[in-house]
Amino acid sequence: MFSGDDWLTFEQRHVWHPYASMQNPPPMLAVARADGVRLYLEDDTALIDGMSSWWCAIHGYNVPELNAAVIEQTQKMAHVMFGGLTHRPAAELAAALLEIVPKGLKYVFFADSGSVSVETAIKMALQYWQAQGKRKKTRFLTIRHGYHGDTFGAMGVCDPVSGMHQLFSAMLPQHIFADAPPNGTDADWDDAQISDFSDKISRHHAQLAAVILEPVVQGAGGMRMYAPEFLRRVRKLCDAFDVLLIVDEIATGFGRTGKLFACEHAGISPDIMCVGKALTGGYMTLAAVLSNAKICAGIHQNDSILMHGPTFMANPLACAVAVASLRLLLDSPWQQRVDAIKKQLKFELEPCRDLPQVADVRVIGAIGVIEMKNPVDMARIQPLFVEKEVWIRPFGKLIYIMPPYIISPDDLSHLTRAMCEVAAI
């Protein structure tokens, strides 16, 4: 259809990219293939990927086990509707998930993407209270700096001030936002960190369907890392005030923080949990919403049904590759790998703390962050990273990486060296 680079010219004129302008499109790098931890551009430039393709390619690229799963399932069926039909890959994936998620989660609803899983979780909470006859419980409590997706329900529980959706704030449901805890660990805990949240849940609990938050690590809202004790207190307050707890593990699930799921750092189990991103190892779009028995029984009270059903729900191809990805993860020394990445990130990024333009350096699991004092100049520093043969995509004040777990120490050093050199400019 296209000759030479004509496809790229056409693409730049007609294809929208995320958070980008079509009138003044930013420069794009054309990827020809990917293998291991490297992206290979059309001009044969090789870039070490520090982003895991927005945090989902935990095994890297061109993974033989995942390739084989896709081929095998394609030869059977790529898709079949989930209404009135079922299939083995969905059952196998549900069983694999229920073996590893926090105790108490017993039911699985498959969704198309992370944002859709949040929409589903919100619906679950609302339908639960409607079935209980408590129709005033329609609002949600969350913490500032949160990000839960780009669809309307999800946008409503994203930070309306510092988040990406201020343009729509007047059109979104008005939920309740509490102060987020500061960056820190349990060693830094102070009861003052929970005071605003405690005050808001006590004052508004009669209206609250659920609390929704990202456990321990807030991702796209600032790569913030807070004390697990905050999450323990939230769980207790939700129980005390009869409010459901939804945790958004879309970015943190499947080992990224050093635990399979970030809420394990606090030793709590939510009422509803959303997972996505790394679920298929970056091969297919798929997410899941898990609930405990209380939620399921409550929704189905008086023969009610959960009112949600995406067309590509439980897509067999996606489910099959997700089963293979989970098997590959659990059969690998993922904990040792993530721990080694964490130790190397801490050692190699810590010197950046002394730079006058750097506000903070923080690490948890396979996540390394340099926070600058001022917003980064994307147009200036993105090409610098490419010159250093790495793919790092900063945002706001943050230069960060979340590399594939299979990355070698040498390749990780290449990434951290590039981060420190660019931060020092």
Which of the residues are catalytic? 19, 147, 248, 277
The strand pairing partners of 401, in sequence order, are 368
Q: Which of 101, 77, 103 is nearest to 90 (CA)?
A: 77
Distance separating alpha carbons of residues 53 and 402, to the nearest angstrom: 9
Between the alpha carbon of residue 176 and those of residues 299, 323, 375, the distances in Å are 24, 37, 27
Residue 359 near residue 336 (C-beta atoms within 8 A) = no
Residues 6+ away with beta carbon under 8 Å from 180: 143, 144, 145, 146, 218, 224, 226
Q: Which of 223, 238, 119 is nearest to 178 (CA)?
A: 238
Distance separating alpha carbons of residues 274 and 137, to the nearest angstrom: 21
Q: Which of 246, 287, 252, 253 is nearest to 143 (CA)?
A: 246
Distance separating alpha carbons of residues 362 and 345, to the nearest angstrom: 9
Distance separating alpha carbons of residues 223 and 88, to the nearest angstrom: 37
* DSSP run (H or E) holding 176: strand 176-178
Distance separating alpha carbons of residues 31 and 43, to the nearest angstrom: 9
Distance separating alpha carbons of residues 415 and 425, to the nearest angstrom: 16
Q: Which of 374, 333, 328, 367 is nearest to 349 (CA)?
A: 367
Distance separating alpha carbons of residues 250 and 258, to the nearest angstrom: 15
Distance separating alpha carbons of residues 211 and 142, to the nearest angstrom: 6
Residue 227: strand, helix, or coil: coil
Q: Which of 269, 177, 288 is nearest to 231 (CA)?
A: 269
Residue 73: strand, helix, or coil: helix
Residue at token pair 């084989």: 68
